[in-house]
Amino acid sequence: MKIEYVHASHYGNGAMVAEEFKRQMATNGVVVDVHHITRLSPDKLPPADLYLFSSPGRMGKPIGGARRFLKDVVLAAGTRYAILTTEVRPRTDRKTGKMLTEQELGRYQRVRPIMNEILESKGLVRIAEDKVYVTAPKGPLEEDWENKVEAFVRRIPIAA
């Protein structure tokens, strides 16, 4: 199996997640090539069995360069993809002191839904998605982030 991992890491957190994903998939005999969006042309992606896209979240959305890249991606309908983003860890509500529910967070954190909307409008097929939190906009990654990547790796079907 061959995976092309395309990330838009700005501060290096997404690149660290990509390299950990690559390392863990290698233990399963899967080849993963990691690329930053600035080093690839979205209309000439290398052939792969699966494309994994990653973007940091900014203001609840994927960063602009990642959105533009995804809008310009040229892949055949039916191509399989996955998403693994880096997003700022949610904080408690300042007024109530309570943690927001997943539904409440969904109104503000739209990184993965926006990426999915773009890719699914092209006929691509999502097989997995998840997020790894950063503790502040520039990082570092959350504690035990490697375990979160490992759990994500287990959800990727290895047979092409």
* DSSP characters over 98-133: PBPPHHHHHHH--HHHHHHHHHHTTT-EEEEEEEEE
Domain ranges of the chain: 2-154
Of the chain, the percentage scoring pLDDT greater than 70 comes to 91
pLDDT tens for 18-46 read 999 999 999 999 999 999 999 999 999 99
CA distance linking residue 26 with residue 17, whole number of Å: 14
Number of other residues whose CB lies within 10 A of the CB of residue 79: 17
pLDDT value for 85: 97
CATH 3.40.50.360, applies to 2-154: yes
Residues of the chain with pLDDT under 50: none
Burial class (CB in 10 A: 0-12, 13-18, 19+), 41: exposed
pLDDT value for 96: 80
What's this model's pTM, rounded to 2 decimal places?
0.91
